[in-house]
Homo-oligomer: A and B are copies of this chain.
């Protein structure tokens, strides 16, 4: 069984008001942070019976077409075998 960990974040050039709000709050509470950016995180269990290459291709397509908005977001994922 394979599990993918997908991270979707706003592109660096796009303002992140949610991240700025978290950053401001943390600083007011005295925490030593310089910048915060907020994104989405997804754990996806891939169906059995696919090769690693097919899994990667399916995930690329899922990330590009469904989970992210490529105009303002970018994604990374890692794929691991689960016991």
A41 contacts which of B1, B39, B58, B62 (Cβ < 8 Å)?
B39
Number of copies: 2
Kindly list chain B residues whose C-beta atoms are within 8 Å of the C-beta of A39.
Answer: 40-43
Evaluate contact between B37 and A42: CB separation under 8 angstroms: yes
Evaluate contact between B66 and A47: CB separation under 8 angstroms: no
C-alpha gap A22/B58 in the complex (Å): 15
Kindly list chain B residues whose C-beta atoms are within 8 Å of the C-beta of A19.
Answer: 42-43
Q: Is A38 an interface residue (CB 8 A)?
A: yes
Q: Is A79 an interface residue (CB 8 A)?
A: no
C-alpha gap A61/B49 in the complex (Å): 42
Q: Is A36 an interface residue (CB 8 A)?
A: yes
